[in-house]
Amino acid sequence: MKAIFFDGKNMNYDKNYPDPAPGEVLVRVSLAGLCGTDLEILDGYLAYDGVLGHEFVGIVEKSKNPNLIGKRVVGEINAGCGVCESCEKGMDRHCPNRTVLGILKRDGAFAEYLSLPEKNLHVIPDSITDEQAVFIEPLAAAFEIKEQVSLQPQWSVAVVGDGRLAQLIIQVLKLTCPNLTCFGRHPSKLESLVNSGIKIKIGIEHSDEQSFDLVVEATGNNSGFGDIMKLIKPRGTVILKSTIASRENLDLTPAVVNEITLIGSRCGLFKPAIDALASGIVSVDSMIDSTFPLEQFSKAIQHAKKPDTLKVFLKP
């Protein structure tokens, strides 16, 4: 099959990459999304080698379940061992022996085919387009915040960052917390928020400091941590979403002095994300940028790295 293989240093196009091993559901990839995590892996995050890509939609070609064949699916990316304490508690994403699609010990979606356990797959309704379906994985990560924190409608909430994940988080949080401000750096990315009732700001003013009950960091860079420490009230709650390859040290002193609750937040359940897209309470169409064939992966990566770019797709 065709695939883009990352050897730990470089991405390489291979027309004869091995097909996924039998034993799991085989999915022909229709469309895959380039994510900030993919770009961080290319910079050394996790020291991964293999086929990247964890945001995808595809068609089931082989399965022990005949009812699944031919269905259009998306997939949860963590595959646990099934026998450890975490898996027994339903927390496959924290299994110490897990594989993660395109991220940890499992080839991903930048290929013609991928495989996942049947329980990881979700059939998606016809009302959701392929482009919209690729957003289900990051949208699920946005909904995970609601699982981790009991959001209060009266809270003043800030999201730091204006990229793909930040904009999904904003839409999810707005469902509960209308008093929401996005702190970004790129006017073109913030344009889609102007008519949604969200306050947008470029830069932090003195009046913004220590004025938010909840702050979500989704910048994808180290500078975001300093910004959230300026914005959060004493004894407020901070959600950390960025995974960053940089080894630069972060100063945690403000978190200690102001008794801040720090919560790491990663993957989420897919059903809330699928339901939100199907019902239209969350819209992703304004974040669709461009699509490249798999063979033009270098152009796709360079375009995705541009500061004003939103979602970039690869099509096998």
Strand-pair partners of 100: 78, 104
Dihedral of the alpha carbons of 301, 303, 306, 307, in degrees to the nearest 10? -100
List pLDDT tens digits, range 153-211.
Answer: 999 999 999 888 999 999 999 999 999 999 988 887 777 777 677 899 998 999 999 99
Based on the fold, state whether residues 41 and 130 are members of the same structural domain. yes
Distance CA 225, CA 203 (A): 14
Give the chain's domain count: 2
Cα–Cα separations (whole angstroms), residue 269 to 264, 274, 280: 16, 9, 18
Whether 162 and 190 have beta carbons less than 8 Å apart is answered as yes
List pLDDT tens digits, range 149-161.
Answer: 999 999 999 999 9
Based on the fold, state whether residues 43 and 70 are members of the same structural domain. yes
What pLDDT score was predicted for residue 247? 55
163 HSE (CA, 13 A, CB side): 23
List pLDDT tens digits, range 101-114.
Answer: 999 999 999 999 99
Based on the fold, state whether residues 107 and 173 are members of the same structural domain. no
What pLDDT score was predicted for residue 159? 96
Domain that holds residue 196: 140-264
**Within a domain: 270:** no
Based on the fold, state whether residues 146 and 106 are members of the same structural domain. no
Based on the fold, state whether residues 244 and 295 are members of the same structural domain. no
**Within a domain: 60:** yes
CB contact burial 187-198 (16+ within 10 A = b; e otherwise): eebbebbeeeeb
What pLDDT score was predicted for residue 248? 65
- The stretch 75-91 carries a mean pLDDT of 94
Based on the fold, state whether residues 73 and 163 are members of the same structural domain. no
Q: Phi first, then psi: give them for residue 245, nearest 5 degrees.
A: -75, -25
List pLDDT tens digits, range 119-145.
Answer: 999 999 999 999 999 999 999 999 999
CATH of the domain at 60: 3.90.180.10
- 116 pLDDT tier (thresholds 50, 70, 90): very high
What pLDDT score was predicted for residue 246? 52
CATH of the domain at 168: 3.40.50.720
Whether 180 and 173 have beta carbons less than 8 Å apart is answered as yes
What pLDDT score was predicted for residue 72? 98
List pLDDT tens digits, range 277-296.
Answer: 999 999 999 899 999 999 99
Distance CA 187, CA 190 (A): 5
Based on the fold, state whether residues 127 and 171 are members of the same structural domain. no
Based on the fold, state whether residues 192 and 296 are members of the same structural domain. no
**Within a domain: 193:** yes
